[in-house]
A and B are shown apart, each in its own frame.
Chain A
């Protein structure tokens, strides 16, 4: 396996093309679940796990069923079904993880609480799977992109939650109270992440 290639994917997903700050995927949970660093890190870890797993499950489905050359030798494959199939896989995966955690790791289950089912409608998860297909990554690259993309999300949401905790104590114009000032904060964080965009690895 070409480790340089994997490292490029990883750095790209975590810093350069961060899912939140440069691709705008997964903004809803990023804004909704970032009031404290504890819940933020829980959500980030859960999303990382689901993103990695979804990449690992969707790749074989896409490769061996939807766009398989042995099943559809004339090229009339089922690629147009990708969106529907992927979202169903993600929804059932989240449901399955929920049941599994409830049975075997109740402490983690209670810690994640309502955030777990919300992951289904997180665009970052569907986004990563769709991008894997678009970039025609192989299996290992897909999983690496899923996991590191999730880590990028974790980094972003944790930093944002830490700033937001301080924001509670500061005064701001009345109209900007609450959500708008949080958006401005996110914008400034995005600006600092923009500094990574010139970063080039191996080349």
Chain B
């Protein structure tokens, strides 16, 4: 088992959002305040880890032909558990995420990890994979939230910090780009995040290519 490699894959080289391009819907829709982003990220992390553990444990029992249906039932069960938990203890989060909590069922990240990792690996490895992939997802959500909130409303940490949990004002709202809070801002911010990721991932490759060219 290679924890270090799994850590690097989950957070950078195989990041579920910026490299595997999965689970776009929630990333675009709910990243308007830090509270939403952290809440959604942690919910997905918990569900992903639990469903990975469960599917890895059941991987020898589940028949190959109906495996997708079985995965979905396992995932839907955990999503319902988390949904009920949030409704009971974190009402505000549940209200502001709305339909996107039950929609974690069809979040491709979870089904994708179940299919490509948990159904082939041991329970411990799957659990660690779930945690790191979930962390990778959470980090992207947090980056998106911070950028959109700061440039779109001039605040930081909405829902978590500041007076009445409205966030700490960095600069007055009239200087902000209001469009970033709207759908278009989600698309543009994600585009920039992925572009930055591609730029940094390709940088070392380019250097070696250049060296090769010089050598030739």
Contacts and interface: CB of A to CB of B under 8 A. Distances in A.
B152 interface: no
Contacts of B111: 121
A131 interface: yes
A129 to B, nearest CB: 10
Interface in B69-83: 69, 72-73, 76-77, 79-80, 83
A76 to B, nearest CB: 14
Nearest to B105: A87
A32 B121 CA distance: 28
A175 B200 CA distance: 9
Given A27-B25, A83-B76, A175 B106 contact: no
Contacts of B26: 24
Contacts of A194: 182-184
Contacts of A22: 183
A170 to B, nearest CB: 15
A139 B152 CA distance: 40
Interface stretch (A45-53, A56-64, A107-115, A181-189): A181-189
Interface stretch (B123-131, B190-198, B208-216): B190-198
B62 interface: no
Size band of the A side of the interface?
35 or more
Interface residues of B, number: 43
A82 B102 CA distance: 9
A109 B195 CA distance: 37
A188 B24 contact: no
B198 A190 contact: no
A84 B82 CA distance: 13
Nearest to B79: A83
Interface string A15-51: 0000001111111100100000000000000000000
A177 B76 CA distance: 36
A187 B84 contact: no
B162 interface: no
Interface in A63-91: 80-84, 87-88, 91
Interface of A: 21-28, 31, 80-84, 87-88, 91-92, 120-123, 125-127, 130-131, 134, 173-181, 183-184, 186-188, 190-191, 193-194
Task: List the 6 closest pairs (A to B, CB-CB), nearest first.
Answer: A187-B187, A24-B29, A183-B191, A175-B199, A27-B24, A180-B195
